[in-house]
C-alpha cells in the first residue's frame, strides 16, 4: 500500500471510465432489441429487471472475492465479461436468451462497480487526500461517452452488433491500459473474513446511499413527466430535466475533490444535501419551466459529491473491513435505483408527482443532517 501513487490513481480513474462506458453503451441498443424481438413494454420491463437482479446478487459476493483475490483480478474478470457480453446482447434471438445475457451483464457490471470502489477507497486512504469525487466523475464521463458514442455509431449506419463490437473494443482497450497498476493485493484487514453481516455505521451509510440513489433513479424516470405534466414543456423537451441534472452532477464531481479538500467532507455533505433538497422545492414551486430546470441543476450539484463522501466514510469506518463494507453499501444503494421508479409511482398515484418529489426533498434534508451525527458518520474533516 505504500507504493500507491499517480499510476494507481490513473488506473482507478480508467476503471471507473470503463464501467461508465460499458453500462451506458447498452442503453441505445434497447429500442433495436425491443423491435427485433417484438417485445411489448411490459415484457421489456420484466427483462430489464434481470439486469438489476444480476447486479444485486453479484454485489454482496464481490467484497468476498476482492478480499481473497485483490481488486485487479476482480476488475479484469468482471470488465472482460462485460466486454464479451455487450455484443451478445445485440444477438439474443429470444426473450430467454436476452434474459440470461442481461442477468450476466448486470452481474458483471455490479461486480465491476463494487471492485472499482474498493480500489478507490484503498487508493484514497493511501494517498491521504480526497479523490473519490474525481473517480466517480470519470464514471459519469464514461456514461456520456458510452451512450453518445454508441448512438453515433448506430446513426452512422452500423448494425447493432457491429456498433456493440466497436464499443466493446473501446472498453477492452481502456481496461487494458488500466490493468498494470490496479491493486493486486487484497485489503489486509479483510484477510480471512469472507463475510461479515453489515451493522452499525455500514447500515447507516447504506441507507443514506439508498436515498441518494433513489433520487437519481427518480429523476431519470420521472423528471420528463414532471416537466411536461406540470410545467407545460413539450414532450420533445422533457429530457432537458435529466440532462441538466446529469451535466451538473458530472461537473460537481469533476471539481469535487478540490471542494472536499478545502471545506471538508462533513460540510460538503451538509451543504450538498441542503442544495439538493432546495432544488426539489425550487422545481415544485417554480413559476416557469426554466426555473424548474434550474432546480434540477441544483439537485445535480448538491447530490454530486454525497455518494463519493459516503464511500470514503465506508472506507474509514471500523465496524467491518472496507471491502466488505463497500459491497454492502453498494448493494443497499443500488436497491434505491431499482425501487425508485415504483416507489415514486405509488406515491404519485396516491397524491401527486409534486408531492412525491417533495418527499425526496425531505429525505435529502435527512441526509444533510446526518453529517453531524457523531458515531455514525466517520467522515474526515479536512
The arithmetic mean of pLDDT across residues 326-347, rounded, is: 85
Q: What cell numbers appear for 244 in the block? A: 441538466
Q: Which domain holds residue 30?
A: 6-181
Indicate whether 157 and 286 sit together in one domain: no
Three-state secondary structure readout of 236-303: HHCCHHHHHHHHHHHHHHHCHHHHHHHHCHHHHHHHHHHHHHHHHHHHHHCCCHHHHHHHHHHHHHHH
* Cell 446529469 belongs to residue: 246
The arithmetic mean of pLDDT across residues 137-159, rounded, is: 90
Q: Is residue 314 part of a domain?
A: yes
Indicate whether 109 and 67 sit together in one domain: yes
CATH number of the domain to which 255 belongs: 1.20.1250.20
**More reliable by pLDDT, 220 or 382:** 220
pLDDT at 195: 54
Alpha-carbon distance values, 76 to 35, 111, 220, 227, 328 (Å): 33, 10, 29, 41, 21
Number of structural domains in the chain: 2
Indicate whether 214 and 175 sit together in one domain: no
Q: Is residue 188 part of a domain?
A: no
pTM: 0.84
Q: How many residues does the chain have?
A: 382
CB 194 within 8 A of CB 64: yes
Please provide the average confidence, as pLDDT, over all residues in the chain: 88
- For the CA atoms of the chain, what is the radius of gyration? 20
How are the residues of the chain apportioned to helix, strand and coil, as percentages rounded to the nearest 5?
A: 85, 0, 15
pLDDT digit string (tens) for 184-210?
Answer: 877 665 555 555 667 678 889 999 999
Indicate whether 128 and 210 sit together in one domain: no
Indicate whether 33 and 87 sit together in one domain: yes
pLDDT tops 90 at residue 309: yes
Indicate whether 261 and 161 sit together in one domain: no
CA distance 70 to 170: 24
Instruction: Single out the residue in 181, 211, 241 at which a domain terminates.
Output: 181
Indicate whether 172 and 281 sit together in one domain: no
Q: What cell numbers appear for 365 in the block? A: 434534508
Give every CB contact of residue 302 below 8 A, 6+ residues apart in sequence: 252, 271, 272, 273, 274, 275, 276, 277, 278, 279, 364
Among 115-129, 220-234, 240-254, the range scoring the smallest mean pLDDT is 220-234
Indicate whether 109 and 21 sit together in one domain: yes
Amino acid at each position: 500500500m505504500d507504493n500507491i501513487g499517480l499510476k494507481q490513481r490513473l488506473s482507478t480513474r480508467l476503471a471507473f471510465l470503463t464501467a461508465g462506458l460499458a453500462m451506458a453503451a447498452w442503453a441505445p441498443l434497447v429500442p433495436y432489441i425491443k423491435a427485433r424481438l417484438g417485445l411489448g413494454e411490459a415484457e421489456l420491463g420484466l427483462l430489464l429487471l434481470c439486469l438489476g437482479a444480476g447486479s444485486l446478487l453479484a454485489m454482496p459476493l464481490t467484497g468476498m472475492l476482492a478480499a481473497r483475490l485483490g481488486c485487479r483480478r476482480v476488475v479484469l474478470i468482471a470488465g472482460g465479461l462485460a466486454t464479451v457480453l455487450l455484443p451478445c446482447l445485440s444477438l439474443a434471438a429470444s426473450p430467454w436468451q436476452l434474459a440470461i445475457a442481461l442477468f450476466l451483464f448486470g452481474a458483471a457490471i455490479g461486480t465491476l462497480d463494487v471492485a472499482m470502489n474498493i480500489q478507490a477507497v484503498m487508493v484514497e486512504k493511501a494517498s491521504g487526500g480526497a479523490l473519490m469525487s474525481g473517480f466517480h466523475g470519470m464514471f459519469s464521463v464514461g456514461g456520456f461517452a458510452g451512450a453518445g458514442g454508441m448512438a453515433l455509431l448506430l446513426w452512422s449506419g452500423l448494425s447493432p452488433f457491429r456498433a456493440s463490437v466497436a464499443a466493446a473494443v473501446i472498453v477492452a482497450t481502456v481496461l487494458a491500459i488500466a490493468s498494470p497498476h490496479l491493486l493486486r493485493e487484497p485489503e489486509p484487514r479483510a484477510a480471512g473474513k469472507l463475510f461479515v453481516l453489515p451493522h452499525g455505521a455500514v447500515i447507516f451509510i447504506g441507507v443514506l446511499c439508498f436515498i441518494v440513489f433513489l433520487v437519481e433513479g427518480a429523476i431519470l424516470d420521472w423528471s420528463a413527466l414532471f416537466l411536461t405534466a406540470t410545467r407545460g414543456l413539450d414532450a420533445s423537451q422533457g429530457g432537458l430535466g435529466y440532462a441538466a441534472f446529469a451535466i451538473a452532477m458530472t461537473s460537481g464531481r469533476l471539481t469535487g475533490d478540490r471542494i472536499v479538500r478545502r471545506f471538508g467532507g462533513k460540510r460538503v455533505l451538509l451543504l450538498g444535501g441542503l442544495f439538493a433538497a432546495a432544488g426539489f422545492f425550487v422545481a415544485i414551486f417554480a413559476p416557469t419551466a426554466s426555473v424548474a430546470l434550474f432546480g434540477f441543476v441544483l439537485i445535480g450539484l448538491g447530490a454530486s459529491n454525497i455518494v463519493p463522501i459516503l464511500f470514503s466514510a465506508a472506507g474509514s469506518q471500523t465496524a467491518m473491513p472496507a471491502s466488505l463494507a463497500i459491497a454492502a453499501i453498494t448493494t443497499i444503494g443500488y436497491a434505491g435505483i431499482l425501487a425508485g421508479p415504483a416507489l415514486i409511482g405509488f406515491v404519485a398515484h396516491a397524491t401527486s408527482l409534486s408531492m412525491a418529489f417533495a418527499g425526496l426533498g425531505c429525505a435529502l434534508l435527512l441526509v444533510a443532517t446526518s453529517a453531524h451525527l457523531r458515531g455514525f458518520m466517520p467522515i474526515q474533516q479536512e
